[in-house]
Structure 1
Amino acid sequence: MDFIRISKKHSFWGSFFHLLFNIILAVIVWLSIVITKSPLIAIILIIASKWRTFAVRPRFWAVNVKSNLVDLIFSLSIAILMYAIAYSNAYVNVTNNSILQICFVILYILWLTFIKPRSDELFMKIQALLSVFFGFTTLFTVGYNWDELITVIASFIIGYASLRHILSINSSKDIEILSLFWGLIIAEISWFSNFLVIAYPIQISNIFNFAIPQVSIIVSALSFTAFEFFLPKKDDKEKKFSDILPAVIFSTILILMLLIFFSSIPKIA
């Protein structure tokens, strides 16, 4: 009985310090951007925080990197967006970005302490969708005038990582080929979207001004449908079209509305 109590005590303190260190990491990432006016140190801190990826034998490094791609994409996206809203030309009209930056810090803390640690199917989908949405939001906010090749490669990685994250739930035997296929589809969409970058501004006075690229919403909707399509059923039965029909209808209506009624908004500049 005493051994059980001691184990629980250590487990509690281990969880407490893990929570504390994650909060500290999010705050330090934000402060490094504010102090240096550059995302470089924040990016280094985020990559360094993944040291456990390489704390195994080298033959496991590739698998660990792939498994951590979704977390890395989301974390880097948040850090770059925190920099962009303060110093990027995309947000030149924002006179007070403190509240928006704090919102991203809180979101990052929630990711590190509540969303990322969960491994059930619902939260795995949430993790993948958030990485897609914020990955593309970052890519088309700060990289809308980058070379097309960089945009396509980054989009491929986001698409590959997101579907692989979902397929890892049931350890699909076709995980790599399907993930590569989806990465190529997403890369094609990003290449086409790169010629017309449309964004929807969300503005509350001068304290909250954020623009969401149209492609981020479209790719997130398509990814939501793809996750439902590629993820096998829990009982290993063959998935019917009726199983994914709600996702198809939702995504189709959303994308058509954006393309037909909300495609005349100026390019981010």
Structure 2
Amino acid sequence: MELLKTVKRRTFWSELVYYVLNIGLAAALLVIAQAFQTPFPALALVVLSKWRIIAVRPRFWWANIQANLVDLTVGIGVVGLMYLPTSVFYFRVALAILYAIWLVVIKPMSKRWQVAMQSLIAIFVGVTALMVVSYEWPVSVVVILMFLIGYSSARHFLHSYDEEQTVLLSAIWGLVFAELGWLSYYWTYSYGKSLFGGVSQVTIILLLFSLVASKAYQSYNKHKAIRFSDISAPVILTIGIILVMLVFLNSVVI
């Protein structure tokens, strides 16, 4: 009985430390964003927070890096949004709170629909931040980072299904992101500049494409064929939203 109590105490204290450290990380990013004009200290903190990636034998490093790419995408994206020229204190506080929720609530989730949600969040935060900060960057850098966002989000989703062709399918999805990233570098529209500095059109398109692709994969995984009844709703939604954006909303340019 005493052993069981000890285990419970250890579990409680380990969980408490987990919450404190993660909430502290989000708070620290807010403090750094207020104190420093350059984003590099905040970026360094996000990277250092993943120290456990290399706290194993080197042969496991690459696997750990890939497994943590989605979390790194969200963390680095939050830093990028905090350092927008239009970011005010209250906006940064909101970002810090959302990041804390990601760390302590959303990231530990493990059900398949929750993993899919995590991938979509990483796409939204990562692509949004990249599009608003990269207007003076070389196009090659944007294309490479878009590939990594697409690859990591697809790998994260497919990993929950134990897919044998995870690397190949993730790389294909990364190429889709890279192609659209290249196009959006030269032709980008955004909506609601008061929100995240403007949500780019390509962010919305990639979210919709990813939703359709995830439903198609789920249908194939279950039935060994893609049933139109399983993907009809997201396909119609995607076509409708893209048509509305292209025909009626192409008026705000980044």
TM (norm. structure 2) is: 0.94
Q: Secondary structure of 1:160's match?
A: helix
2:191 and 2:199 in contact (8 A); partners too: yes
Does 1:247 pair with 2:238? no
The match for 1:179 among 157, 170, 187 is: 170
Output the CA distance in 2 between the equivalents of 1:128 and 1:235: 20
Deviation at 1:126, TM superposition (A): 1.2
CA distances 1:145-168 after superposition (whole Å, capped 9, x unpaired): 321111111101000111110000
Deviations 1:149-196 (A, max 9, x none): 111111010001111100000110010000001100111111111112
Which blocks of at least 5 consecutive residues in structure 1 are unaligned? none
Structure 2 distance, partners of 1:237, 1:129, is: 24
Deviations 1:50-83 (A, max 9, x none): 0111111111111111111000001000011101
Aligned residue pairs: how many? Answer: 254
- Paired residues of 1:46 and 1:72 also in contact (CA < 8 A): yes
- What is the rounded CA distance, in whole Å, between the counterparts of 1:151 and 1:209 in structure 2? 18
Please say if 1:211 is aligned against 2:174.
no
Q: Name the structure with the higher helix share.
A: 2
Please, which of 183, 186, 190 is the counterpart of residue 195 of structure 1? 186
Report how far residue 219 of structure 1 moved. 1.0
Q: Partners in 2 of 1:190 and 1:110 — Cα distance?
A: 28
Give how far 1:241 is off. Answer: 2.6
Shift of 1:250: 1.5
Task: Provide the C-alpha distance between the structure 2 equivalents of 1:46 and 1:133, rounded to a whole number of angstroms.
Answer: 18
Note if contact 1:166-1:231 (Cα within 8 Å) is conserved in structure 2. no
Instruction: Show the counterpart of 1:263.
Output: 250
8 Å contact from structure 1 (residues 70, 165) kept in 2:
yes
Assess, with a 3 A threshold, how the Cα gap between structure 1 residues 164 and 209 changes in structure 2: closer, same or farther.
Answer: closer
CA shift at 1:236, angstroms? 6.4
Separation in structure 2 between the aligned mates of residue 235 and residue 155 of structure 1, nearest angstrom: 30
Residues 215 and 48 of structure 1: is their aligned pair in 2 closer, same or farther, counting only changes over 3 Å? Answer: same
1:225 aligns with 2:216: no
Is the CA contact (8 Å cut-off) linking 1:218 and 1:255 kept in structure 2?
Answer: yes
Structure 2 distance, partners of 1:234, 1:9, is 42
Counterpart of 1:17 in structure 2 is: 17
Other-structure match for 2:34:
34
SS of 1:33's partner is helix
Q: In the alignment, what sits opposite 1:161?
A: 152
Structure 2 Cα separation of the partners of residues 59 and 11 of structure 1: 30
| CA 1:235–1:195: 2 relative to 1, 3 Å | closer
SS of 1:38's partner is coil
Tell me by how many angstroms 1:235 deviates: 5.0
Would the alpha carbon gap of residues 234 and 219 (structure 1) be closer, same or farther in structure 2, given more than 3 Å must change? closer
Once residues 245 and 90 of structure 2 are traced to their aligned partners in structure 1, the CA distance between those partners, rounded to angstroms, is 28
Q: Structure 2: how far apart are the matches of 1:230 and 1:251? A: 16
| Contact 1:167/1:231 (<8 A) preserved | no
Shift of 1:47: 0.5
Larger relative contact order, structure 1 or 2 (CA cutoff 8 Å, min sep 6):
1
